[in-house]
Amino acid sequence: MIRDTVPAEELWNKARAVSQYYGFTPLSELTEKTRGLHKKEASANPATLDSVSLDPVAETVASFLRQCREGGLALPNRQPLFIWHTNIAPGPLRRSSSEASRPVQKKVTVQFHAFGADRALTDAVVIRALMTLVRDLFHEEPVLRVNSMGDKETRARYARELSNFFKKRACNLPEDCLSCAKRDTLEAAGLLIAPAGGTASVGRDYADELPAPTEHLSDSSRKRFEDLLEYLEMTDTPYELARTLFSRGGAWNDLCFEILTGGRRIAWGSRYGEFLHHFFPGGPQSATAAILQLSASGTVAAKSRHSRVRFSFVHIGDEAKRLSIRLAEDFHRARVSLSQHIGVESLIDQLNLAERQGSPYLLIMGRKEALESSVILRNRHTQEEISLPLAGLTERLKAIA
């Protein structure tokens, strides 16, 4: 049976661990570096959201983006940026015992965001990180359901198809559904998919006849969605196509997905590049978010200082990237002291990030190593290199560390 409430300390620690293996930096760490800088820029030109309808998850994303702005965070256009954030606040270091821990809100969120990489790889990394966290928390294999609502062109076309659908069936559909369709066809479709009250049986009869958004995708949206499905299949990520999974409101575009465990939705995610520009005009053209929402209890003790990771894993090429996604699970399960930035494609950028972390060892994988199922281990102090097979890799690394 799936537990209803998770200890806050467990949730915070597991989210932090997962983020390290998939290359997400905590927002608090990034804003610490920019605190006090660019205050005028952060508060100028406030985002105008009057024309955008926001569902509760989009409100959560909007709050996160406001924190990014207020913290003076700049979103780069060149190098992808992967951030995780939670509203759980651990106690500060070096405070009195009464301040050493803080009670958490009953409802908490953990967010994974990826900015500036308009490739299926980005979406796959966000999805896999969240699925790993859900698996860790509930000790059950999560169910991933995916769909695509497409870009503006697609959504406009789909709205017309839904409008025609309701007009053609006006004599048979429930009155509340038809009234709803006059103001919001997606909301009306939702009533057919998950009906309430006495109209339930009538709604279900027509839910399977609803047009699917993927049948109306633009060429670019179709290509993006097909690329994601290919990535999921090539990284052994099980998924279900969910033709009636919709993203409503003006915040989302293209991919949408949900993660279920015990038959209950635990997390939701989508791309939101257009919405991002309300907060960061001229910023990255793409963004993906995944939001985990849970009930939590207890307190979170003061943050401990991060120990230096022993291994930095860098990779180049699609073959290596796909393998790195699968290997992240093995490293995490074995608790190898390792970090990697899967979504960062530039080898130079990955090496710079590894340099900042100061890890004594590098793991390097290119196309040749990926095809040979091997990896190069480099001692950064002596520059000595050896080739290691992927079979038994975690045991070898744990022995070295």
Report if residue 367 sits inside a domain: yes
Question: How many domains is the chain built from?
Answer: 3
Residue 203: domain span: 152-214
Considering the domain boundaries, does residue 235 fall inside one? no
Write out residues in the chain with pLDDT < 50, as ranges. 37-47, 93-100, 197-201
The reply to whether 146 falls in a domain is: no
19/117 same-domain check: yes
282 and 266 in contact (C-beta within 8 Å)?
no
Contacts 24+ apart (CB under 8 A), 62-68: 62/251, 62/279, 64/27, 64/111, 64/113, 65/276, 65/279, 65/280, 66/279, 67/27, 67/31, 68/27, 68/31, 68/279, 68/280
- Side-chain-facing half-sphere of 43: CA atoms under 13 Å: 4
| pTM of full prediction above 0.85 | yes
272 plus 326 within the same structural domain: no
E strand intervals along 195-282: 240-241, 253-261, 264-271
Same domain, 168 and 207: yes
Q: What is the pLDDT of residue 95?
A: 47
191 and 113 in a common domain: no
What pLDDT score does 40 carry?
44
From CA 275, how far away is CA 115, in angstroms rounded?
12
CA distance 146 to 123: 11
In this prediction, residue 48 carries a pLDDT of 58
- Residue 286 and residue 385 in one domain: no
Q: Provide the CATH number for the domain around residue 279.
A: 3.30.930
Do 51 and 197 sit in the same domain of this protein? Answer: no
| pLDDT at residue 305, as a whole number | 53
**39 and 102 within one domain:** yes
